[in-house]
Amino acid sequence: MNQYPLWKYLLICTVIFVCTLYALPNWFGDDYAVQISPAYARDMNIDDTVQATVEAKLKEAGLKFSPPERTAKQLLVRFPDSTTQLKAYSILKKALPKYVVAQNLAPATPDWLKDLGAQPMYLGLDLRGGVHFLMQVDMKTAIAHDEETYLNELRSLFREKRLRYKSITRKNGIVVTFSKAETRDKAKQLVAKRYNDLIITEPPNEIGEYQLHLTFSEKSLKENRQKALEQNITTLRNRVNELGVSEPVIQRQGEDRIVVQLPGVQDTARAKEILGATATLEFRLVATGTNQYAGREYKRRDGTPVRLKRSIIVTGDQIVDAKATIDSRSGRPAVTVRLDNKGAKSMLQTTRKNVGKPMAVVFIEYHVKTKLVNGKPVTTRNKTEEVINVATIQEEFSKNFQITGLKSNEANNLALLLRAGALKAPMEIIEERTIGPSLGKENIKLGLLSIQIAFLAVMLFMWMRYKTFGMIANFALLMNVVILIALLSLLQATLTLPGMAGIVLTLGMAVDANVLIFEKIREEIANGNSPQNSIYLGYEKAFITIFDANITTLIAALMLFGFGTGPIKGFAVTLSLGIITSMFTAIMITRAIINLFYGGKKLKKIPV
């Protein structure tokens, strides 16, 4: 009685060995490092020249560093302390203007563990340090952008169907004015058939004018806001990837806010510049001829006016790739652009029909600022539009072309922003927090201290209460922590302070199962059962109670994970995994050890 077959012992030993192996990387900690990666062109690589420059600059400054670790897209240099890291960062940022230079914490995992795919857990912002932004999305501008898109489509549609209109403008929606009632009625039927997300009304007629007022339905407005939020999140992720930040957290909060956490980043100015920028482009034909009312007037960089046609050829969200380069003819900074299929088709059709005519590139930026006026926050929105380039179309082109007329730093930033995608709507940073690495280290120290104290207190209680069986439970508890850390590392979960709280809670819950088992064993002995039979009945009778208790806790943890955000999710992850591992260790491992030492023997009493 109370004996396991050999395969069960082998299985348990294999699980313990593998989990110990994959939990080990967390023992070695992190090194202070500077990460260099290509900034503005996706086809750039880290070559011998870049590595030689980095090593030469660091040696010239007399800084201590480990041999650089290089891949095609990244160069990582490790330093002994944060002071040396900061000095190296400042030096390399100046020496490599065409590359992203970022401060980071690099895992100090030995190569033999890396070869096995073993990696440490990610550390959250509260443990590693970095920057936290809460960003408010300007939904009014997002809806205005959608209205502008529809307005341009309606112009093209009415021209295609030869429906003459007097004017088409945006005013609490889109207002189209016709000279004849018959034309208005035909346009109404056409719009109703083509756009089922628009509500069409007919305002009271004025003399000689017949109007249609087009507004988005409530369902459509909700969908547009959702799309704006999703596009901004996608764009932010792309921009963070371009910045070379590892383990970012970018997630939705509410209906119009986005949380951005960048662990390890201390350069808040650069992060704000890239994340909050809303630069995009529009390509329009220059309005030629003597009609001064044709098109719309813009300003060039030198302040001179230029009139452009209202129809947009291509917008920034149709740009697939962009690279900062040098124009071979003028020797000045430029950006080469590649369009998607829709943009390429529009550009080809336009340039084919307008060879010899001028086309302009409009640079657009949105600025959102909030100021306190009489104690209340007042938000102002400004849109800056500037013609950065006017050039004559020499020949037809479509997918690939070049933008000139830029400054050096502007070409780099514009290429990065266009490559990452245009924001659907501008955003304002309404909350900003910077957590230094020293505070993160203090949080880790205190978190580990709490786990150690909890672990020792539980071990002491189990030893005093249940003697040898208590020490077996303590060994299982240690294995529980090892397996839990291994799972978090394999899943590459992000550990936060609430996550550490989940681990501490798991420690108490793990031995709770053994307490139930051992108390059941004592009851059976008191009832006159033999020691072997008492062990068997103790595990059998306690199992259902343990299973039910853990299942209800697991359901609560899954609900926290499903509906919670940020730190709550971190707590739910560690708690859920802890419940699963505690079931394995408290039942399987403890029983395997008890069976190994006490099973199949004639016992007069057992140390429980």
The enclosing domain of 381 has a CATH number of: 3.30.1360.200
User: Are 29 and 80 within 8 A, CB to CB?
Assistant: no
Calculate mean pLDDT across residues 286-304. Answer: 76
Is residue 94's pLDDT more than 50?
yes
| CATH number, residue 44 | 3.30.70.260
HSE (CB half, 13 Å, CA atoms) of 169? 9
- Secondary structure letter of residue 363 according to DSSP: E
SS3 109: coil
Q: Do the beta carbons of residue 71 and residue 55 sit within 8 Å?
A: no
pLDDT for 63: 92
User: What mean pLDDT do residues 494-515 have?
Assistant: 82
User: What is the rounded distance in angstroms from the CA atom of residue 216 to the CA atom of residue 225?
Assistant: 12
pLDDT by residue (tens digit) across 326-346? Answer: 877 777 888 888 888 888 888
364 and 441 in a single domain? The answer is no
Q: 432-456 b/e with 16+ CB inside 10 Å = b?
A: eeebebeebeebbeebeeebeebbe
- Is residue 293 predicted with pLDDT exceeding 70? no
Task: For residue 272, give Cα distances in angstroms to 39, 132, 364, 435.
Answer: 17, 10, 18, 15
Alpha carbons 418 and 318: distance in angstroms, whole number: 9
Amino acid identity at 368: V
Is residue 364 assigned to a domain? yes
Mean pLDDT of 245-268: 77
pLDDT at 566 over 70: no
Q: In this model, does residue 20 exceed pLDDT 90?
A: yes
What pLDDT does 41 receive? Answer: 43
pLDDT digit string, tens, across residues 134-171:
888 888 888 887 888 788 788 888 888 888 888 888 88
Angle, vertex CA 589, rays to CA 586 and CA 595, nearest 5: 115
Residue range(s) defining the domain that contains residue 332: 278-408+428-434
The answer on 592 and 444 residing in a single domain is yes
103 within domain boundaries: yes
Contact 332, 404 (CB under 8 A): yes
pTM assigned to the model: 0.60
Identify whether 483 is part of a domain. Answer: yes
Tally of domains within the chain: 4
On whether both 320 and 398 belong to a single domain, the answer is yes
CA atoms of 577 and 502, how far apart (whole Å): 9
Band (437; pLDDT cuts 50, 70, 90): low
pLDDT at 269: 62
Q: Which residue has the higher pLDDT, 314 or 235?
A: 314
Please state, rounded to an integer, the average pLDDT across all residues of the chain: 82
Tens digit of each residue's pLDDT (9 = 90 or more) over 341-373: 888 888 998 999 898 889 888 888 766 566 667
Same domain, 372 and 447: no
Report the percentage of the chain scoring pLDDT > 90: 13
E strand map for 442-577: 494-495
- Secondary structure (DSSP) of 404-458: -S--HHHHHHHHHHHHH---SS-EEEEEEEEE-HHHHHHHHHHHHHHHHHHHHHH
Q: Which of 273, 537, 510 is nearest to 412 (CA)?
A: 273
Lowest mean pLDDT among 51-60, 182-191, 262-271, 310-319: 262-271
Same domain? For 494 and 588 the reply is: yes
Q: How confident is the model at residue 377 (pLDDT cuts 50, 70, 90)?
A: low
Q: What value does the mean pLDDT take over residues 566-594?
A: 86
Q: Which long-range contacts (CB under 8 A, 24 or more apart) does 191-197 make?
A: 191/154, 194/157, 195/150, 197/223
- pLDDT, average across residues 426-438: 75
Same domain for 560 and 442? Answer: yes
Q: Judge if 348 and 369 occupy the same domain.
A: yes
* Residue 78: predicted pLDDT: 92
Q: 323 and 374 in one domain?
A: yes
151 and 102 both lie in a single domain: no
Q: Of 202, 221, 240, at which residue does a domain stop?
A: 221
Q: What is the pLDDT of residue 439?
A: 66
Say yes or no: 66 and 16 in one domain.
no
At 12, the pLDDT band (50, 70, 90 cuts) reads very high
**Has residue 345 been placed in a domain?**
yes
Spatial distance between the Cα atoms of 300 and 295, rounded to a whole number of angstroms: 15
Closest CA to 167 of 201, 206, 212, 202: 212
Instruction: Note whether 479 and 557 are same-domain residues.
Output: yes
Same domain as 67, residue 18: no
pLDDT at 40 (0 to 100): 45
**Is pLDDT above 60 for 561?**
yes
User: Is 570 part of a structural domain of the chain?
Assistant: yes
| pLDDT for 413 beyond 70 | no
Does the residue 607 lie in any domain? Answer: no
Asked if residue 551 belongs to a domain, the reply is yes
Q: Residue 449: CB partners within 8 Å, gap ≥ 6?
A: none
Tell which of 206, 221, 236 closes a domain.
221
Average pLDDT in the 474-502 region? 86
Does residue 253 fall inside a structural domain? no
* Order of strands across the sheet that contains 210-216: 167-170, 174-178, 210-216, 198-201
Q: How far is CA 287 from the centre of its chain?
A: 42
